[in-house]
């Protein structure tokens, strides 16, 4: 198959990473971009040398000439744009959060299924080098069957400077960041049967919650805790590292700050540096996320070429998105939520 041609919608803060990554990906390139803000269209068009520029996505689809669309807008427009891609029979990548509600997300998956086009959610955290290293250690049987886990992201980083809209929503940390951590928990310990959550807002300058603690009952029988905070001021800022603890029948895995992976079992203790690569266009501390953007976009192309389903397909992401909704529901009602029932 020849090189895939892509179109990107949404030329904002994060799209810069996606555009750099498309330059590095083998087998695809971006031929058209779209943003309703003319300034952002010019900045990204000029920086990446893209001549075909649109302020209206319908007009871009009408002109065609691309094999897939990469939707990098914020959540409000995701459903309309994914359904537009489906109507035009164009495979689509959609940024997280996939949708505003689980019922929107289900409709988006159904629209793409009916149209027969691939749909992948840009859920990149599971593609981070340290997370992949944990997955490989488990797959190699390093600790036997895991029975307990903790997936932790605690930070005092000023995330609002790059993404000011995050301070304005009724929902914040679970919808924006916890969604990644919940996805990692699923990726490592499998799907979830039920969940209990507690949330709070510490920073008085924002609208939504900035702290969440979530207890997950995995279908495998394992129990895990997902804890996320943007109100945690540590002596050494860990942003944007996800720290992991896993206890298995035959050993333990610890992914600690500074990208250190420790595996302890009856053979002894091994410690590895699982730092992400600093790509030529990347900058610390974002390089971990930036490398995972490249990895997930390469995966998009590779699976399209193989005709295979993506790791974070729309259908897969429904199971992560259900955890987000269940967490808000649990926190509001003070009850444990049956996640399986939400997906039936
Ligand atoms: P942003 O507001 O900086 O950029 C969004 C852009 O989309 C804006 O330029 C806006 O004009 C444009 N846009 C919105 N609706 C449009 C439409 N219908 N047609 C054309 N253009 C439209 O937002 P951002 O910070 O870049 O975030 C974008 C998405 O990326 C969000 O969903 C966010 O959660 C996600 N994100 C993901 C990661 C990650 O690691 N996966 C990191 C940061 C942000
Ligand atoms: O993934 C995101 O959407 C980002 C960040 C990693 C900073 O939380 O907002």
Is residue 329 located within the same domain as residue 271? yes
Radius of gyration of the chain (CA): 20
Domain end point (choices 62, 97, 117): 117
Domain boundary among 96, 117, 138: 117
Query: Are residues 44 and 104 both part of a single domain?
Result: yes
Give residue 313's region: left, alpha or beta (phi > 0; psi -120 to 50): beta
Task: Looking at the structure, tell me whether residues 68 and 199 fall in a common domain.
Answer: no
Say yes or no: 256 and 148 in one domain.
yes
Picking from 93, 117, 141, the residue at the C-terminal end of a domain is 117
Distances from the Cα of 102 to the Cα of 53, 108, 175, 293, angstroms: 32, 10, 12, 24
Whether 203 lines ligand 1, by a CB cut-off of 6 Å, is no
Report d(CA 164, CA 166) in Å as an integer. Answer: 5
3-state secondary structure of 214: strand
Q: Let me know if residue 309 belongs to a domain.
A: no
In a domain, 207, yes or no: yes
- Do 86 and 228 lie in one domain? The reply is no
What's the confidence (pLDDT) of residue 330? 98
Residues 236 and 246 sit within 8 Å (Cβ to Cβ): no
| 300 domain residue, yes or no | no
User: Does 149 lie in the same domain as 91?
Assistant: no
Residue 201: inside a domain: yes
Q: How many domains does the chain fold into?
A: 2
**pLDDT for the residue 309:** 98
User: Which three-class secondary structure state does DSSP give residue 138?
Assistant: helix
Co-location of 75 and 132 in the same domain:
no
Residue among 96, 22, 15 nearest 279 (CA): 22
Residues 82 and 170 in one domain: no
pLDDT for the residue 1: 62
Residue 162 lies in a domain: yes
Residue 327: predicted pLDDT: 98
Q: Do residues 139 and 176 both lie within one domain? A: yes
C-alpha span between 230 and 148 (Å, rounded): 24
Q: Which residues pair with 195 in a beta bridge?
A: 216, 337
Q: Are residues 204 and 277 in the same domain?
A: yes
Residue 302 belongs to a domain:
no
pLDDT digits (tens, 9 = 90+) for 172-187: 999 999 999 999 999 9
Domain that holds residue 64: 4-117
CATH number for the domain spanning 51: value is 3.40.50.720
Instruction: Find, among 75, 72, 47, the residue nearest to 57 by Cα.
Output: 72
Q: Which pLDDT score is estimated for 315?
A: 98
Which tokens hold the place of 344?
């039936």
Q: Which ligand is nearest to the CA of 179?
A: 2
Q: What string of pLDDT tens digits covers the 344 residues of the chain?
A: 689 999 999 999 999 999 999 999 999 999 999 999 999 999 999 999 999 999 999 999 999 999 999 999 999 999 999 999 999 999 999 999 999 999 999 999 999 999 999 999 999 999 999 999 999 999 999 999 999 999 999 999 999 999 999 999 999 999 999 999 999 999 999 999 999 999 999 999 999 999 999 999 999 999 999 999 999 999 999 999 999 999 999 999 999 999 999 999 999 999 999 999 999 999 999 999 999 999 999 999 999 999 999 999 999 999 999 999 999 999 999 999 999 999 99
Please write down the long-range contacts of 253-258, taking CB distance under 8 Å and 24 or more positions apart: 253/134, 253/137, 253/138, 253/142, 253/143, 255/130, 255/131, 255/133, 255/134
Examine the domain organization and report whether 140 and 268 are in the same domain: yes
Residues 215 and 337 in one domain: yes
CATH number of domain containing 214? 3.30.360.10
Ligand 1 pocket mutation pick from 69, 70, 74 by most atoms within 8 angstroms of CB = 74
In terms of C-beta density within 10 A (0-12 exposed, 13-18 middle, 19 or more buried), how is residue 276 classed?
buried
* Helices within 156-277 (DSSP H only): 173, 179-189
Q: Is 146 in the pocket of ligand 2 (CB under 6 A)?
A: no
Residue 209 counted as domain residue:
yes
CB 185 within 8 A of CB 281: no
pLDDT of residue 331: 98
Distance 35 CA to ligand 1 centre (A): 10
Whether residue 298 is contained in a domain is answered as: no
Express each pLDDT in 68-124 by its tens digit.
Answer: 999 999 999 999 999 999 999 999 999 999 999 999 999 999 999 999 999 999 999
Question: From the alpha carbon of 157, which atom of ligand 2 is closest?
Answer: 7
Choose the residue to mutate in 11, 35, 321 for probing ligand 1, maximizing ligand atoms within 8 Å of C-beta.
35
Comparing C-alpha atoms, which of 98, 20, 6 is closest to residue 287? 20
CB atoms closer than 10 angstroms to residue 8 = 27
Task: HSE, CB side, 13 Å, CA atoms: give it for residue 131.
Answer: 28
């Amino acid at each position: 198959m020849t090189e895939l041609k892509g179109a990107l919608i949404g030329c904002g803060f994060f799209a810069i990473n996606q555009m750099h990554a498309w330059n590095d990906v083998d087998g695809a390139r971006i031929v058209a971009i779209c943003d309703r803000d003319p300034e952002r269209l010019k900045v990204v068009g000029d920086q990446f040398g893209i001549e075909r520029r649109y302020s209206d996505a319908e007009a871009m689809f009408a002109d065609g000439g691309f094999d897939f669309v990469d939707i990098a807008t914020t959540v409000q427009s995701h459903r309309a744009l994914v359904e537009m891609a489906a109507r035009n029979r164009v495979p689509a990548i959609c940024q997280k959060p996939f949708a505003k509600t689980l019922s929107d997300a289900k409709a988006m998956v159904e629209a793409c299924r009916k149209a027969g086009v691939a749909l992948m959610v840009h859920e990149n955290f599971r593609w981070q080098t340290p997370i992949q290293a944990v997955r490989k250690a488990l797959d190699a049987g390093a600790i036997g069957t895991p029975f307990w886990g903790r997936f932790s992201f605690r930070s005092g980083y000023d995330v609002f400077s790059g993404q000011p809209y995050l301070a304005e929503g009724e929902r914040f940390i679970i919808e924006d960041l916890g969604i990644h951590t919940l996805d990692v928990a699923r990726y490592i310990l499998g799907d979830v049967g039920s969940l209990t959550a507690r949330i709070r807002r510490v920073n008085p300058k924002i609208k939504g919650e900035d702290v969440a603690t979530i207890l997950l009952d995995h279908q495998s029988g394992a129990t895990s805790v997902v804890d996320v905070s943007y109100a945690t001021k540590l002596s050494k800022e860990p942003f944007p590292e996800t720290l992991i603890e896993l206890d298995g029948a035959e050993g333990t895995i610890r992914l600690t700050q500074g990208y250190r992976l420790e595996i302890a079992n009856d053979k002894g203790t091994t410690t590895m540096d699982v730092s992400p690569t600093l790509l030529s266009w990347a900058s610390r501390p974002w390089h971990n996320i930036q490398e995972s953007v490249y990895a997930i976009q390469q995966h998009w192309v590779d699976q399209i070429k193989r005709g295979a389903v993506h790791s974070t397909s729309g259908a897969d992401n429904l199971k992560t998105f259900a955890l987000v909704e269940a967490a808000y529901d649990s926190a509001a009602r003070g009850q444990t939520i049956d996640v399986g029932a939400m997906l039936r």
